[in-house]
Amino acid sequence: MNVPGGVIVLDFGGQYTQLIARRIREQEVFSAILPCSASIDEIEGLRPAGVVLSGGPSSVYDKGAPVCDSRVLGLGLPVLGICYGMQWMAHSLGGNVVKAEHREYGPATLDRERDSTLFRGLPEHLKVWNSHGDHVIGLPAGFETVGRTDNAVAAIEDPSRRLYGVEFHPEVLHTERGSEILRNFVFEVCRAEKNWSRASFISDTVGAIRQQVGDAQALCALSGGVDSTVAAVLVHRAIGDRLTNVFVDTGLLRRNEFQDTLELLRDRLHLKVDGVDASERFLARLHGVTDPEEKRKRIGAEFIAVFAGEAKRLALSSGSDMRFLVQGTLYPDVIESVSVKGPSAVIKTHHNVGGLPKDLPFQLIEPLRDLFKDEVRMIGRELGLPDEILLKHPFPGPGLAVRLLGEVTKDKLEVLRAADAIVVEEIRRAGLYGKVWQAFAVLLPVRSVGVMGDYRSYGYTIAVRVVTSEDAMTADWARLPWDVLERISTRVVNEVRDVTRVVYDVSSKPPSTIEWE
């Protein structure tokens, strides 16, 4: 999606690139991220009000250091370079960038030497957040120093060309009044108009989908999670029941999840949903498999087979043009494939429907691909989605199969479902469900000895995993109150057949991951 008059962020592979776009959208101005390799035509074609050059891990002198087409500095558009973005801008325009004797990481004080539109309304001394090794020592012609930190030229400008640079990161919360610096860039320098709000996002997106789909039909693989549901509701607004959703029971869902989700989607959200019970197929495919990656691969392949079969059946029965596939892809899913850093190492094969066979000639509709999860939640709220969906914890595509270590069997799934239901119920009862990122049970493939009613017992071990996180990239184990852990443990051992022991997982991510497989 594009909204003209927004601010484009060109990504040099920085850690905080996503935050820059977010902070701009918080000012109700559209912002999208493009890789720094985007062509000048593509950038101009978006008709932006300005451009931000992100930070990045490289030095401008590194072999293969990321670069933009330097014509971006001559389009007459305002440009703000942040950290590496400022260094690249200075370097490209003939300034001098060097390795700093003292690298600056963390807090520093910016002392301003002259007035600048970028800092309008802000005090002369500001706490700012740095993360750089190189810095600019010689300014390109036409530039002035606006401010310094102890060790570096920290802000520069050429107001006549509307080119600005800051060595620190205004987008992170540790920079005092950083949002106001970005706001000054957006409104005072770029003169952007407010053009992005939840309501305008919804109406623009619905309009664009309507135009894209025309009279054709669309299909959506719905999981009942926040992303796919918000995407489906947006498309449904645009084309009504020409959207058919497919919701697959893999047999790996949590207790009552298939029925409850179907009811909610159909009765409360009025979506047309084709519920497919494929549990036997999935279990058969998993028979005898213990390797986690093999499980994931088989589940992914089976999912695609079921979905493709449904798509063909629905296309035939509707007799019309089923040409579009809706996906709830978010920005963090997109960036791995386009980032200048290249795709990161595969830790786990996350499964989605991206690997559909070529003979299903779908065009993709991905209305959320510029957004972050919390922005999707806000859009969902604006669309009137209930909290049951908006606040739902993430659930992996391969479902309980990656929380049941070893071979997946019906019996073990029943044990895990029962234990998981207790964990979630107790977390809710303690008022913690909305405060933690995920809370679930894991069934371990080891048995241990217990004593129950004077008899020796020998049963499964359940691990309880509860984590806090911002974005699932890093996570910490939740410091649950002892009494909550005690209730979970007592109930699981008493109520779930065949379980003799409950343990609490106290590993953070990294080095562990959130799921066990």
The residues carrying an active-site annotation are: 83, 169, 171
DSSP state, 404?
A: B
Residue 76 backbone class (left: φ over 0; alpha: ψ -120 to 50; beta: rest): left
| Residues in the chain, total | 517
Cα–Cα dist 286/413, whole Å: 12
For 209-348, where are the E strands, in sequence order? 217-221, 243-249, 273-277, 322-326
* Residue 341 or 392 having the CB closest to ligand XMP: 392
**Residue 396 CB, nearest distance to ligand XMP (Å)?**
3
Q: Is residue 348 close enough to count as binding ligand XMP by CB under 6 A?
A: yes
**Residue 77 CB, nearest distance to ligand XMP (Å)?**
37
Number of residues that bind ligand XMP (CB under 6 A): 13
Cα–Cα dist 182/128, whole Å: 13
What 3-state DSSP class applies to 296?
helix
Q: Is residue 310 close enough to count as binding ligand XMP by CB under 6 A?
A: no
DSSP letters spanning 459-498: EEEEEEEEEE-SSSSSBEE----HHHHHHHHHHHHHHSTT
Stretch that binds ligand XMP, among 135-143, 236-244, 366-374, 394-402 (CB under 6 A): 394-402
Stretch that binds ligand XMP, among 100-108, 143-151, 346-354, 426-434 (CB under 6 A): 346-354
**Residue 278 CB, nearest distance to ligand XMP (Å)?**
17
* Residue 275 or 394 having the CB closest to ligand XMP: 394
Q: Is residue 210 close enough to count as binding ligand XMP by CB under 6 A?
A: no
* Assigned token pair, 98: 């060097």
**Residue 92 CB, nearest distance to ligand XMP (Å)?**
38
What 3-state DSSP class applies to 216?
coil
Binders in 428-457 for ligand XMP, by CB under 6 A: 438
Q: Is residue 397 close enough to count as binding ligand XMP by CB under 6 A?
A: yes
Q: Is residue 183 close enough to count as binding ligand XMP by CB under 6 A?
A: no
CA neighbours closer than 13 Å in the CB half-sphere of residue 398: 25
Q: Which of 350, 410, 429, 497 binds ligand XMP (CB under 6 A)?
A: 350
* Residue 5 or 398 having the CB closest to ligand XMP: 398
Q: Which of 390, 502, 480 is nearest to 427 (CA)?
A: 480
Phi first, then psi, for residue 322 (nearest 5°) are -95, 90
Cα–Cα dist 257/275, whole Å: 12
DSSP letters spanning 148-213: E-SSSEEEEEETTTTEEEESS-TTSTTSTTHHHHHHIIIIIIS-PPP---HHHHHHHHHHHHHHHH
* Residue 387 or 470 having the CB closest to ligand XMP: 470
Q: Is residue 420 close enough to count as binding ligand XMP by CB under 6 A?
A: no
The alpha carbon of 215 is separated from its chain's Cα centroid by a whole number of angstroms, namely: 32
Helix residue spans in 214-291 (DSSP H) = 226-239, 257-263, 279-286
Stretch that binds ligand XMP, among 110-118, 191-199, 347-355, 442-450 (CB under 6 A): 347-355
* Residue 444 or 472 having the CB closest to ligand XMP: 472
Amino acid, res. 475: A
Q: Which of 332, 354, 394, 406 binds ligand XMP (CB under 6 A)?
A: 394
Stretch that binds ligand XMP, among 156-164, 204-212, 393-401, 444-452 (CB under 6 A): 393-401
Q: Is residue 351 close enough to count as binding ligand XMP by CB under 6 A?
A: yes
Q: Is residue 396 close enough to count as binding ligand XMP by CB under 6 A?
A: yes
Stretch that binds ligand XMP, among 152-160, 266-274, 311-319, 343-351 (CB under 6 A): 343-351
Binders in 456-515 for ligand XMP, by CB under 6 A: 472, 509, 513-515
* Residue 9 or 253 having the CB closest to ligand XMP: 253
* Residue 12 or 258 having the CB closest to ligand XMP: 258
* Assigned token pair, 158: 């050429």
Which residues neighbour 479 within 8 Å (Cβ) at sequence distance 6 or greater?
Answer: none
Q: Is residue 368 close enough to count as binding ligand XMP by CB under 6 A?
A: no
* Residue 11 or 515 having the CB closest to ligand XMP: 515
Binding site for ligand XMP (CB under 6 A): 348, 350-351, 394, 396-398, 438, 472, 509, 513-515
